[in-house]
Amino acid sequence: MASQLTTWALALVLAVVLPRYLGPRAVGELQLATTVWTIVFSVVAFGSEMMLTKEIARRPQQAARRLCTVILLRLIFFVGGCLAVSLYIGAVTADSVQVSLFVILGMAQPLLLTANVLQAALQGFQRMQSIAVATVISKALYTLMALLAVIAGFNVKWVAVATVIGNAAHLCALTVCLFPVVRANWRWGFSIRTARWSIVASAPFLASALLVIAYQETSVIVIAMVLDAQAVGWFSVARTLTATLLFIPAILMTAVYPAAAKRHLEGAQVLPALAARSVKLMLLCAMPIALGVAVTAEPIVSLLYGDKFLPSGAVLMVLGLSLIATYQTIVLAFLLAAVDRQATWVTIQAVALPVKILLDLALVWSCQNFLENGAVGAAVSIAVSEVAIAVAGMRLLPKGTLSRADAGYGARVVFAAVTMAAAVWLVRDASLLFAVLAGVVVYIGMVAVMRAADPEDVALMKSVISRTASRASLRRRVSE
């Protein structure tokens, strides 16, 4: 838990400081390069991360022989990825700074591709503390170097250089953590048979990853195509702020996913009970966060970024509301993968993707012409996609997973959150800090009075926190 909060704090610091120093255009150029490489990474990684985590959790004795082959396979695919990025750069009008960002961030990809495999293995072994330590080290180094670069007056290219160094540190830390675990069975070399099996087994995960990236990242591509880098910057800062709020479902599913996959293999019916608790718990957490962000979006943007980013306020408001659905889609994706139903989840995303692309094109153009803020259209497109996929995902749950009692529970949570939002709205102009504190007090009070916190949901979160804390304690004792 401490590591998750540390990582969240570091990400928040960067989300606040970098835009103030760089400005919307530089932020937009950095985001565009990052988006293109993110799409390429998803293809090159071929969905092997979740496949490795699940297979290692089920058959840990076979882990070592698969890791080397998967890493080499990714690096081979990376060559094709570089060619694709080169073609994209040639097809668009890019200045020298934009081209430099593509090249520098490209240098980080082999490091990231390798580190991602090692992290998947550690997650399969349920070595969450090792992942946490490596992540904190790399994020802290990247944050420090990026902050020093912009404060010293260097341009956005040096922020990209800090990304490369941070990824190198992450890879080194993960190697140190994983090697003692797999050393006895480690095998160097490349197995055609293992490579073929890995590609086939990862195919559903690849399709899912590509669809997720597509409906998230195509918004940036469309904004850059229809508008310019400055508009991408306005959209980017709002999306980055909301992304820092996704650590709660990440904490829950990082702890639950390997154990759920293993119990399903043993024949246990884990989905109904676990899904009900997870969905309700995420609603309890998401509602106050989403409504709180929505009602304070404009004051937050004004305080953090100043007048250059004022159009980001409306974008943040819409993306804040979308967190209600986003929390649920994260949970549902992991739960369905744990019980081998990822193919059905992929089908839902595949159906939603064309609608998302059409919405991006239509809403960015419309909002630019009618509201003079095309970035808002991209935010609305993301929100609609998240809601549609969450609703479809709920329908995949076994019949009876959610009952009428759960509907009443949801109504109480929503009422408590709406009451909180009204209180925050009334005092937000007086003091943003006071508004946040008032919101926390009102929401906790309403939840307590209305008994909106289900004891089973609270027990699940306590269990996750306890497991994380116990691993941290064990790690410290071993190191001593």
Q: Label residue 458 by pLDDT band (50, 70, 90).
A: low
Cα(431)–Cα(438) distance, rounded to whole angstroms? 10
Q: Label residue 260 by pLDDT band (50, 70, 90).
A: low
Q: Please state the length of the chain.
A: 480
More confident residue, 25 or 335: 25
The residue written with tokens 């103030």 in the block is 20
What's the pLDDT at 450? 79
Give the mean model confidence (pLDDT) for residues 405-411: 82
Of 41-50, 184-193, 458-467, least confident by mean pLDDT is 458-467
pLDDT in tens, 136-155: 899 999 999 999 999 999 99
Q: Label residue 277 by pLDDT band (50, 70, 90).
A: confident
3 state DSSP class of 257: helix
Q: Label residue 235 by pLDDT band (50, 70, 90).
A: very high
pLDDT in tens, 296-328: 999 999 999 988 999 999 999 999 999 999 999
Residue 471 has pLDDT above 60, yes or no: no
Which one of 85-94, 105-114, 403-412, 427-436 scores highest in mean pLDDT?
A: 105-114
Residue 266 has pLDDT above 70, yes or no: no
What's the pLDDT at 22? 93
Which one of 4-8, 168-172, 335-339 scores highest in mean pLDDT?
A: 168-172
Global pTM? Answer: 0.80
Closest CA to 270 of 279, 259, 281, 280: 259
Residue 429 has pLDDT above 50, yes or no: yes
Closest CA to 26 of 218, 233, 222, 219: 233
Of 154-158, 200-204, 298-302, least confident by mean pLDDT is 200-204
What's the pLDDT at 474? 41
The rounded Cα 24 to chain-centroid distance in angstroms is 22
Give the mean model confidence (pLDDT) for residues 288-294: 95
Give me the torsion for CA of 107, 201, 353, 75, rounded to 10°.
10
pLDDT in tens, 99-125: 999 999 999 999 999 999 999 888 888
3 state DSSP class of 306: coil
- Please, what is the end-to-end C-alpha distance for the chain in angstroms? 21
Residue 470 has pLDDT above 70, yes or no: no
Question: What is the residue-averaged pLDDT of the chain?
Answer: 85
What's the pLDDT at 377? 96
